[in-house]
Amino acid sequence: MAFRYVAVVYSDPDRLPVFPPCPETHNLTRVFQTRRCAAWATHPGITLEQDGPGGVILGNLFRRTTPAHAVKALDRSSADRITGSGGSDLIHSYWGGYAALLSPTGGERTHILRDPSGALPCYYVTTADGTWIASDIELLVSVGGLVPQIDSTGLARHLFAADLRSPRTALMGVRELLAGQCLHLPERQTTELWSPWSHAMGLDDRPRDQLAEDLKRALEGCVCGWAGLFQHVLLSLSGGLDSSVLACALGRSPARTTCLTLSTADPDGDERTYARLAATSQNLELLEATHNLSDIDIEQSTSAHLPRPAQYPFAQSANRVKWAASREMGIDAYFSGVGGDNVFCHLRSASPLVDRYRAKGSLPDLWATLADICRMTGCSYGEALRHAAKRQLRPSPRYAWHGVAGFLSRAAIDEIGDTLYHPWLEAPTQALPGKAAHVAHLTRIQGTIDGFPRHWPPDITPLLSQPLVELCLGIPTWRWCEAGRDRSVARRAFKTDLPEAVIHRTSKGTPNVFAFEIVERNRERLRAVLREGYLAREGLIDSDAVERVLAPAHVLTAPDHILLLGLSEAEVWIAHWQTYGQPTKPPREVITRQNETPPDSRAGPP
């Protein structure tokens, strides 16, 4: 089961001497308590003992050693350094997937810190009694007393830029503490305790083999640290570079590893050949499964447990397969290569050439990077030079983030205004533009990693581990495209461990055709849901445009099918929260495979 927690910091502890009991149905036990705050969790916390309890770390913590070792307890001096630094020492001396509640003995302030990887969700809401912090919304509702209401502006902002995470959610009053941030109470102010720019301004331009060796050591150390927490890991293996290097590292870890690859009937979504090569090279068992339309019900939300609509209906098919494997094989964690493109600086632009020029690269060096970019992207030398010149002339290194208007109404977009902000996008004046794009890619992945169902085994994304991210941020962008290969440092690091076909693979599988099939099968239901739903009533979408593309005679084209499925998920997510606590209709009958449990209609996936 994923790590779940809920904590409270009272605004006036003198008025509330008795802490409310936590419902046993959530399997939570009290792990921390002082006069003004308390925390409950599904797993033990790491208490910071001073003259009294000075705080608690919730989640998984590792020391910065190779291989990494999980921390189960901290001595008094370590606790003093962490609380005395306001959490900074925790960021610099440790890593993991955690939220920390720091309440130094004798002080009146409390600090809530979320680790830089964002691995453990952290949402909070302020009530008359104080501030409640939790790993998921269900706990804020059932324990913290939150009455869920839709925030239309927050919802529109999310639909416009779903991959740019904002502290504001789509539920009224619910905020998210972003990765690397610290919430200070009672002021209710946030500060950045970790920034990618602390690691992205220096240029680690050592020889390529040294960079590759360090990357491999850091990656294997982080993966082994995570794997050491579990008995049996299920790895989502596509046979692409990112999941394949995980297979290498897991093959050397103490945990038993089984791989799973999912395919579609369409060749573009069939990656079994590469997955088989990767699994066989590491002597790992591989399960093969196929996406199935009968698993999809667009009237059931895959994100009902989240404060924003997320994921898409086609995730239901993958969820059923994973859950069936978990029940049958005793899986206690899901691993994936999510974030690999982002951490390994998968850029397909001329920015690395601009970076090398600004870093005073020699003419032969610039020529080599120009050739690498053209080989990698397929563009001509002239095209690459024009794009590089255009980027060089821009006065600011800041990455320009663009939302997706899609089917949103003009009024909704106007109401969103200039809200596409994230602290990581604020590049220093002397930052290199390619590195700003690298940081923006890391920012983008933060919008996708908290969707796991809380009553499932946890989703682990080792490639987002803090030590690996910090190492990769320091590698210049031109190193990542050497020899005309994207993510070249990672390819070089594992070139002797994986088959050449996997190491040199640049294609990516996609469930695109499967998504088209979902829309086609449910075209009339989608029309009804979107024509009569909340989004149309509130004027958040252009109903006429939706009607046109869903008309029987209209031929759907990309990306309309994905946008429509996203709006459909938003509607059923809204319906879930508007009727929360009320009886709901049972899910429509579906075919259930042997040893498989149907999804919970209230909590998204099974």
Domain of 154?
A: 5-194
Pair (390, 333) in one structural domain:
yes
Q: What is the mean pLDDT of residues 404-416?
A: 93
Q: What is the mean pLDDT of residues 173-195?
A: 96
pLDDT tier, 22 (very low <50, low <70, confident <90, very high otherwise): low
Mean pLDDT for 243-262 is 96
Query: How much is the CA Rg of the chain, to the nearest whole Å?
Result: 24
Cβ neighbours for 357, distance < 8 A, ≥ 6 positions apart: 366, 388, 392
Better-predicted residue by pLDDT, 310 or 526: 526
Asked whether residue 475 is assigned to any structural domain, the reply reads yes
Residue 22 placed within a domain: yes
Q: What is the residue type of 500?
A: E
Least confident of 51-55, 120-124, 226-230, 547-551: 51-55
In a domain, 410, yes or no: no
Asked if residue 422 belongs to a domain, the reply is: no
Which one is predicted more confidently, 515 or 106? 515
Give per-residue pLDDT as tens, 367-402.
999 999 999 999 999 999 999 999 999 989 999 999
List the one residue out of 250, 254, 230 whose CA is nearest residue 242. Answer: 250
Residues 189 and 204 in one domain: no
Do 60 and 186 reside in the same domain of the chain?
A: yes
Same domain, yes or no: 204 and 169? no
Is residue 271 scored above 80 in pLDDT?
Answer: yes
Residue 269 lies in a domain: yes
Question: Is the C-alpha dihedral spanning 319, 320, 325, 327 positive or negative?
Answer: positive
Together in a domain, 210 and 143: no
Q: Which residues does 148 contact at the CB level (< 8 Å), separation at least 6?
A: 137, 141, 171, 172, 577, 580
Alpha-carbon span 353 to 366, nearest angstrom: 7
Same domain, 523 and 587: yes
Closest by alpha carbon to 39, among 24, 52, 20, 25? Answer: 20
Same domain for 238 and 138? no
Residue 226 sits in the same domain as residue 183? no
For residues 430-440, average pLDDT: 97
Q: Is the pLDDT of residue 115 over 60?
A: yes
CATH value at residue 551: 3.40.50.620
- Does residue 118 surpass a pLDDT of 70? yes
Q: Are 259 and 271 in contact (CB under 8 A)?
A: no
pLDDT at 107: 73
User: What are the distances in angstroms from CA 301 to CA 12, 169, 183, 375, 602?
Assistant: 38, 17, 31, 43, 8
Sheet of 37-41: strand order equals 29-33, 37-41, 5-10, 130-134, 123-126, 175-176
Domain boundary pick from 153, 169, 194: 194
Q: Write the DSSP assignment of 259-323 as a string of letters.
A: EEEEE-SSGGG--HHHHHHHHHHTT-EEEEEE--GGG--TTS-S-TTSSS--S-TTHHHHHHHHH
* DSSP helix/strand/coil, 123: strand
CATH number of the domain that residue 178 is part of: 3.60.20.10
Final residue of a domain: which of 194, 215, 237?
194
pTM of the predicted structure, to 2 decimals: 0.93
Residues 120 and 98 sit within 8 Å (Cβ to Cβ): yes
Burial of 440 (0-12, 13-18, 19+ CB in 10 A): buried
Q: Which residues pair with 32 in a beta bridge?
A: 39
List, for residues 196-238, the tens digit of each pLDDT value: 999 999 989 899 999 999 999 999 999 999 999 999 999 999 9
pLDDT by residue (tens digit) across 449-493?
988 888 889 999 999 999 999 999 999 999 999 999 999 999 999
Higher pLDDT, 2 or 18: 2
One domain for residues 127 and 222: no
User: In this structure, are 232 and 184 located in the same domain?
Assistant: no
- Rounded to whole angstroms, the Cα distance separating 501 from 486 reads 15
Is residue 506, in this structure, part of any structural domain at all? Answer: yes
- End of a domain among 194, 228, 244? 194
- In this model, does residue 13 exceed pLDDT 60? yes
Q: Is residue 378 part of a domain?
A: yes
- Reported as a single tens digit per residue, the pLDDT across 548-606 is 999 999 999 999 999 999 999 999 999 999 998 654 444 333 333 333 333 343 333 33
User: Do 516 and 376 sit in the same domain of this protein?
Assistant: yes
User: pLDDT > 70: what percent of the chain?
Assistant: 93
- Residue 581: predicted pLDDT: 62
pLDDT digits (tens, 9 = 90+) for 297-340: 999 999 999 999 986 777 898 889 998 988 999 999 999 999 99
Q: Is residue 596 assigned to a domain?
A: yes
Instruction: Please give the C-alpha separations between residue 169 and each of 63, 153, 233, 236, 420, in angstroms, as whole numbers.
Output: 32, 9, 32, 29, 13
**Mean pLDDT, all residues of the chain:** 91
What are the contacts of 213-216 at 24+ separation with CB within 8 A? Answer: 213/493, 214/471, 215/468, 215/471, 215/472, 215/475, 215/489, 215/490, 215/493, 216/493, 216/494
447 plus 556 within the same structural domain: yes
Indicate the number of domains in the chain.
2
pLDDT of residue 17: 45
